[in-house]
Structure 1
């Protein structure tokens, strides 16, 4: 399954972010806790450069708790204090503000020593599409300002948002990179909804998700859909069983495979199949 998506606005967004970086003190890099490798744009290191950085693992509530701990240890060994968050519910927001002040303490102390009593910390939020950037900003600001949506590509333009007297955020469009060298990365991004479903073969994507589920978390798949997996590893058969159990039926008693595929992917993305992480730290070569 060939997954590539780098529309023109992605290159434009990258250029815009590079221009705006000179205006900010901190870059807040938002990752999907379910796919910390795949959701980390390899261009971000180059884009952010030497700017102070906070890594936020969003959607950690629907990720595997044990793997959340393993990822936390991984980043700490890299000298980064990761913050586990759930932007939709507001979990981890205080930690983001606290870490921002910690990172800026030396700079603020130096400015105070020169007579400047107050400086607003300005941070840029960066990440791939649909990772929760605008939701995070709205929760931090405690009001709906940044545009949000459950599909990638909602944020279109620069928005400065005042969180409090000490902190401002810059929302940025989600950016992907020009080419996925590893098919697994493309699939993980597609599974989690970072790539628009409209350009994908949803049925094929759902089949590949089931293949992964059979190998990595069969118990969760069985618990959600009550389908036997041990004696049947045929993906098409499993799709038909799920579709029939969930009432995805066309005229003539035929299973609606497209509707079934959408149901399976929606169930994963919303956490209804369970707390699932698709990547482990040891997957990093």
Structure 2
């Protein structure tokens, strides 16, 4: 199975068009990110919609993310003009309410004119956007659920505090170009588990955890101090410790994969961030190089076809 996610249901395509039409009337954009994957959960479409509009980047699920990494990401995101970043957990109502304070700072002229600040909240599926809306509104106005893509249509909510909030469906972009981002989105549950091979996602995850959070793996799965060298050996060791055995003593790697991914998602493995700013810079360079090579290959193939056509024509 390909590790490139292409997951763009019809309602997402419709939402994209609606957002493009509504954005000129918006003063501040609120983009909800997953604090464990701040880059991979950023939607590049939002940058193209945004233009010069100020943005509040909300790193939700901070209680599941590595606090040191979260601080690094906030500093990194705020290097961009017109961007303010904040880390929250929806368990803490006062943290969620700070989002409106940032909106006021980014659009002071609206309040000075006695007008409501018009905001639009966006985010990829399953990032906690609806829970944030309900907390800000003080009532259940948005459908919540732990499945990706619960919100299906836009709605406008008057928060009764000088801020109007437009909700949008969670939209992914048509194609996730960075394969590493695809794995991270799958590992954290941003896309349906059927979108990518479960075991591929677990192997990617365990390889990263082995490098960045070996102590968590050793403690959680009672592993020997000497870490297994390969991802397969490590997954087998986890499976063995968790009794994921088939007949003949073979390890059920699918079952072991499910245990690892579920324990990453629910925080049992501890506070983990799946990417660092410097990692992303390197990955984007590699993606750009790969895209250039692909383009060159396509030009070459096209030229070969043209020459063959001309030869056959003689």
The verdict on a shared fold, with TM-score over 0.5 as the criterion, is yes
Residue 210 of structure 1 deviates from its aligned partner by: 0.9
Q: Do the aligned residues in 1 keep the contact of 2:3 with 2:196 (CA within 8 Å)?
A: no
Residue 284 of structure 1 deviates from its aligned partner by: 4.0
Residue 168 of structure 1 deviates from its aligned partner by: 2.6
If the length of structure 1 is used for normalisation, what is the TM-score? 0.89
The Cα offsets for residues 125-174 of structure 1, whole Å up to 9 and x where unpaired, read as 11111111111111112222211111211111112233234223222111
CA RMSD of aligned residues (A): 2.1
| Bigger fraction of residues in helix | 2
Q: 2:41 is matched with which residue?
A: 39
Which 5+ residue runs of structure 1 have no aligned equivalent?
112-117
The whole-number CA distance in structure 2 between the counterparts of 1:235 and 1:280 is: 21
- 1:3 equivalent to 2:8? Answer no
Q: Which residue among 101, 105, 119 is the counterpart of 1:98? A: 101
Alignment of 1:1-285 (within 5 A): 1-7=2-8, 8-79=10-81, 80-90=83-93, 92-109=95-112, 111=113, 118-228=114-224, 230-249=226-245, 255-285=251-281
Q: Which has the larger radius of gyration?
A: 2
Which 5+ residue runs of structure 2 have no aligned equivalent?
282-314
Structure 1 residue ranges, 4+ long, deviating more than 6 angstroms after superposition: none
SS in 1 for 2:119: strand
SS in 2 for 1:46: helix
**How many pairs were matched up?**
278
Residue 206 of structure 1 deviates from its aligned partner by: 0.8
Residue 229 of structure 1 deviates from its aligned partner by: 6.1
The whole-number CA distance in structure 2 between the counterparts of 1:59 and 1:42 is: 21
Residue 122 of structure 1 deviates from its aligned partner by: 2.5
Segment drifting more, 159-168 vs 177-186: 159-168
Q: 1:115 is matched with which residue?
A: none
Residue 2 of structure 1 deviates from its aligned partner by: 2.0
If the length of structure 2 is used for normalisation, what is the TM-score? 0.81
The whole-number CA distance in structure 2 between the counterparts of 1:152 and 1:246 is: 28
